[in-house]
Amino acid sequence: MSQVIIASQLDEDYNQVIRERLAPLHPEAQVIGVPVGVPSDLPAHANILLLRPINVRGYTAPDTPPPGWPYGAQWVHLVSSGIDFYPQWLFNGPPVTTSRGSAADNLAEFALAAIFAAAKHLPDIWVKDAQWQFTALRPLKGTTLGLLGFGAIGTSLAQKALALGLKVVALRQSTTPFGLDGVEAAKDIHDLFARADHLVVAAPLTEATRHIIDRNVLASAKPGLHLINIARGGLLDQQALLHALDNNQIGLASLDVTEPEPLPDGHPLYSHPRVRLSPHTSAISTRSKEEIADTFLANLERYVAGLELSNLANV
């Protein structure tokens, strides 16, 4: 494969990182910036498409592809890990790969930061005057971390949690062993919620997992559970969560994702005293340019060599 012409929806500073990394290996390669959104009128000679999420901020792509799709594209690479931000027709043409795993450490660190903040009462214990009141802070060692989903994010988080002395119990759809000593398998989702002090949602959103965390599951929770969602808002029934918070079944919810995104002004999750809401930022880091380039360029070498691509979308 001699021709490498990449149509990229990434911002220009991201494209420039890829160009600089490509130059020593493939000096003839080109990276051409194209508009975000539904890909249309791509350069005829472009054989690779770098695609940003489409179905975001309330926008939904048409059910049918644009005229001419897939143009000259022979491979589509998604800069996100999940596939739920894209229309179904995208997966009916050239091979589609994802950036699965590229932000795993970022997401794991964010979840761990949320756990530390809850256990150590941050930022509530910061003082502004001489009226100091001591607060008993909860240790993490010996508490139980629950993981719903055990891919790259779950693996990274489990490694970090075990090093801190937490117990780790996990549930995944696959029967594949966790491959990490110290991780115990939950019997089912109710068992997972009943045993965890902090529970991190890191599962993919599919039709089978939509609202998998419903009123019945939340009713199984260990009283005072800290629920952390860094995956997708659609995994969680938000009305059921508000009910569980008001009934003190859930002690705290740290949510980096919601459904929809953003939530409309006035939504009760904004003002609930035991909800900590962040704007779907846990995967973004000061090294995101390099992390996205790492995953894409590793697959590019496979494409050029005629090998099967890794991280193929699991539709």
Annotated active-site positions, please?
232, 261, 280
- d(C-alpha 306, C-alpha 301), whole Å: 9
> Do the beta carbons of residue 214 and residue 193 sit within 8 Å?
no
Q: Is the peptide bond before 273 cis (omega within 30 degrees of 0)?
A: no
Q: Which residue has the tokens 């450490």?
A: 105
Residues 6+ apart with CB under 8 A from 68: 40, 41
- d(C-alpha 96, C-alpha 76), whole Å: 5
- d(C-alpha 199, C-alpha 253), whole Å: 10
> Do the beta carbons of residue 102 and residue 81 sit within 8 Å?
yes
Q: Is the peptide bond before 262 cis (omega within 30 degrees of 0)?
A: yes
Q: Is the peptide bond before 70 cis (omega within 30 degrees of 0)?
A: yes
- d(C-alpha 206, C-alpha 274), whole Å: 28
Residue 307's Cβ-count burial label (10 Å; 0-12, 13-18, 19+) is exposed
- d(C-alpha 292, C-alpha 315), whole Å: 21
Q: Rounded to the nearest 5 degrees, what angle is found at the Cα of 15, between the Cα atoms of 14 and 18?
A: 95
* Listed residue (149, 28, 107) closest to 280, CA to CA: 107
